[in-house]
């Protein structure tokens, strides 16, 4: 049985992420990791905050904090939100770790030894006032295309045109505001991706047929346009330093590696961080080095990250000429939009993950987001759709089933699972249907088709309701008490089955359903086909309690309040 290495795109350090970021990487990776663990696989789910680059320095400056202190606080704030969403990382690291510095510098040295790094002179904006070269994002000014007066030197946020700092009208330093800027020559390291083009093409060709069409088409587009040599160093105070033993002049100037060079290496760095916490029992290299035959590596990311993970990072790994593990499967997602538009922190438009947890428990969001994951195309978050999904699927189909079965049984038979009755034709039909739907659910989870997996899970819940309506124990008990006991006992076994198989989607609710039954030996991690047909897990005489309402229905007043707070279609 293969070991499964799972990573999700590293969330950037400057600010709490919105729901689109959650559903495009970390949440589906968590759902898949949980499922694989339940099925008995050895799983390592690794993520980290991406802490280097210009935005981190600018965000720290805005808050008046040293950048290392800002990043430490921001890391803890993000981790608290992900804990709130019950993301079960094996380790959530930091790209500023000493482990990432060590491995990034090792990669750079090896690429240099193999002839894939070159030192080149380029012309760059210099600020005498600040006494430093300014990276593109440190230069602000007026966009020559639309007149926006806060355009950055790499791109105008207003009209989205890609810019060069020298294009800006009235350019100024984002650090000091000084307009006394010069263009000077400086040296940087370039990764010679052009020399690796054919190797990357051959590698992608071996994998792309297995990837989702979104991932393979983006990789192919970049390769068809040709790989260009890319600067991998920047003039920043914060980042992985260029090693002085290899490039003493650049190190003396304080050059650091570009964030997109060191960020993917942090997957390896974070694994080493994890292993270093318990070195006697954890071996990070067995997951990453010479691990092709023993490890299956799956990456989760939104489409904007795909080029870096399917082309640029593989080029880096190939150029190192060492047997580092490369990705086997890239699960790429489209955008989740907010009423068809972008989530925006500055415009207070859309729901951010910390706000989501303030409103409702994590399972409401986990289920909705995965059931509507933007897999085949962009999908739009609307409060109307969210409210309808919560009420129909979670409150009515699952929550109401659990509550009415346990409440009615307690009222008519007491606080133990009732005995009596022998399974008949209805139970046999139910068993076959549950086994079929469970097989469908497993198939979609194995294929990483999350919307289809959610539909199969919802169908499992619906099958219980159909059985209950067919048997109608509230009528049955008037003429056949044993028959009603059988119906309720069968339904309780369905609740236990739902608790087990729903855990990847709604872990807290699954735990509440499972804890309703006093089963001392309940160690089931999954349900076999035979168990799905016979439903033997909760025998007669098992004590049970009625849990609080699992999912509260959302009202029209709730809907109106959410739209007023976060903006709706007219925001």
Query: Which of the four pLDDT bands, split at 50, 70 and 90, describes residue 570?
Result: very low
Q: How far apart are CA 49 and CA 65, in angstroms?
A: 18
Residue 360: pLDDT above 80?
yes
- Residue 358 CB neighbour total at 10 angstroms: 10
Mean pLDDT value across the chain? 95
3-state helix/strand/coil string of 398-433: HHHHHHHHHHHHHHHHCCECCCCCCCCHHHHHHHHH
Which pLDDT score, from 0 to 100, does residue 571 have?
A: 43
Which pLDDT score, from 0 to 100, does residue 10 have?
A: 97
Token pair 């608290």 is found at 80
Q: How far apart are CA 379 and CA 373, in angstroms?
A: 7
Q: How far apart are CA 306 and CA 301, in angstroms?
A: 7
Q: Is the pTM of this model over 0.85?
A: yes
Known binder of ligand: residue 47?
A: no
How much is the average pLDDT of 539-561?
Answer: 97
DSSP 8-state class, residue 309: I
Handedness of CA 291, 297, 303, 305 (dihedral sign): negative
How much is the average pLDDT of 499-506?
Answer: 98
Give tens-digit pLDDT for 10-66: 999 988 999 999 999 999 999 999 999 999 999 999 999 999 988 898 899 889 999
Which pLDDT score, from 0 to 100, does residue 135 have?
A: 85
Task: Map out the domains of the chain with their CATH numbers.
Answer: 3-115+260-333 (3.40.50.620), 117-190 (2.170.220.10), 382-534 (1.10.730.10)
Query: Which of the four pLDDT bands, split at 50, 70 and 90, describes residue 509?
Result: very high
Say if residues 386 and 356 touch (Cβ distance below 8 Å). Answer: no
Which pLDDT score, from 0 to 100, does residue 151 have?
A: 93
Known binder of ligand: residue 159?
A: yes
Lowest mean pLDDT among 7-11, 239-243, 291-295, 432-436: 291-295
Helix (H) or strand (E) holding 379: strand 379-381
Q: How far apart are CA 410 and CA 165, in angstroms?
A: 72
199 vs 157 pLDDT, higher one: 199
Q: How far apart are CA 434 and CA 460, in angstroms?
A: 6
3-class secondary structure, 172: strand
- CB-side neighbour CA atoms (13 Å) of 515: 10
Give tens-digit pLDDT for 93-110: 999 999 999 999 999 999
Alpha helices in 122-252 (DSSP H): 197-207, 213-225, 248-252
Which pLDDT score, from 0 to 100, does residue 569 have?
A: 67
Which pLDDT score, from 0 to 100, does residue 535 have?
A: 93
Q: How far apart are CA 313 and CA 507, in angstroms?
A: 34
Strands 230-231 and 182-191: antiparallel
Residue 249: pLDDT above 50?
yes
Structure tokens at 261: 């060079």
Say if residues 496 and 537 touch (Cβ distance below 8 Å). Answer: yes
Cα 11–Cα 13–Cα 19 angle in degrees, nearest 5: 45
Q: What is the largest CA-CA distance in the chain?
A: 93
Give tens-digit pLDDT for 345-354: 656 678 999 9
Query: Which of the four pLDDT bands, split at 50, 70 and 90, describes residue 1?
Result: low
340 vs 448 pLDDT, higher one: 448
3-class secondary structure, 547: coil
Which pLDDT score, from 0 to 100, does residue 388 have?
A: 98
Say if residues 569 and 422 touch (Cβ distance below 8 Å). Answer: no
Which pLDDT score, from 0 to 100, does residue 346 have?
A: 59
């Amino acid at each position: 049985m293969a070991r499964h290495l799972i990573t999700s795109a590293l969330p950037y350090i400057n600010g709490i992420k919105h729901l689109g970021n959650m559903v495009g990487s970390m949440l589906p990776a968590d759902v898949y990791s949980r499922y694989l663990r339940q099925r008995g696989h050895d799983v390592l789910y690794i993520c980290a905050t991406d802490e280097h680059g210009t935005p981190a320095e600018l965000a720290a400056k805005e808050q008046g904090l040293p950048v290392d202190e800002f990043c430490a606080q921001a890391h803890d704030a993000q981790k608290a939100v992900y804990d709130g969403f019950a993301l079960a990382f094996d380790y959530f690291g930091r790209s500023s770790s000493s482990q990432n510095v060590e491995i990034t510098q090792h990669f750079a040295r090896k690429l240099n030894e193999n002839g894939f790094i070159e030192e080149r002179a380029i012309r760059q904006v210099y600020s005498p006032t600040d006494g430093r070269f300014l990276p593109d994002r440190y230069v602000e000014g007026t966009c020559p295309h639309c007149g926006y007066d806060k355009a950055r030197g790499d791109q105008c946020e207003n009209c989205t045109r890609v810019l060069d700092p020298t294009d800006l009208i009235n350019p100024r330093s984002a650090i000091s505001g000084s307009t006394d800027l010069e263009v000077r020559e400086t040296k940087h390291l370039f990764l010679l991706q052009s020399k690796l083009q054919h190797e990357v093409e051959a590698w992608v060709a071996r994998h792309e047929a297995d990837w989702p069409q979104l991932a393979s088409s983006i990789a192919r587009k970049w390769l068809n346009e040709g790989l260009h040599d890319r600067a991998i160093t920047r003039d920043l105070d914060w980042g992985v330093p260029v090693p002085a033993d290899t490039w003493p002049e650049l190190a003396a100037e304080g050059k650091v590696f570009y964030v997109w060079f060191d960020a993917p290496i942090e997957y390896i760095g974070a694994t080493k961080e994890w292993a270093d916490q318990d070195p006697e029992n954890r071996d990070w290299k067995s997951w990453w080095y010479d691990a092709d035959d023993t490890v299956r590596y799956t990456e989760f990311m939104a489409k904007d990250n795909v080029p870096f993970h399917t082309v640029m990072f593989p080029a880096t790994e190939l150029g190192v000429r060492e047997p580092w593990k490369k990705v086997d499967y890239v699960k790429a997602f489209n955008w989740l939009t907010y009423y068809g538009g972008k989530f925006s922190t500055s415009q207070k438009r859309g729901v951010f993950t910390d706000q989501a947890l303030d409103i409702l428990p994590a399972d409401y969001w986990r289920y909705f987001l995965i059931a509507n994951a933007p897999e085949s195309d962009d999908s739009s978050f609307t409060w109307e759709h969210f409210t309808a999904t919560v009420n129909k699927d979670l409150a009515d189909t699952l929550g109401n089933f659990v509550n009415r079965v346990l409440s009615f049984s307690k009222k008519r038979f007491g606080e133990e699972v009732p005995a009596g009755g022998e399974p008949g034709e209805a139970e046999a039909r139910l068993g076959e249907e549950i086994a079929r739907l469970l097989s469908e659910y497993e198939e979609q989870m194995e294929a990483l088709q999350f919307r289809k997996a959610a539909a199969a899970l919802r169908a499992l819940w619906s099958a219980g309701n159909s059985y209950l309506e067919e048997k109608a124990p509230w009528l049955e008990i008037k003429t056949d008490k044993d028959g009603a006991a059988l119906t309720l006992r069968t339904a309780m076994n369905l609740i236990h089955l739902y608790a087990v198989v729903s855990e990847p989607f709604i872990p807290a609710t699954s735990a509440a359903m499972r804890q309703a039954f006093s089963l001392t030996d309940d160690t089931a991690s999954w349900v076999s086909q035979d168990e799905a047909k016979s439903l033997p897990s909760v025998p007669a005489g098992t004590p049970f309690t009625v849990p609080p309402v699992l999912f509260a229905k959302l009202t029209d007043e709730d809907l109106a309040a959410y739209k007023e707070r976060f903006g709706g279609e007219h925001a």
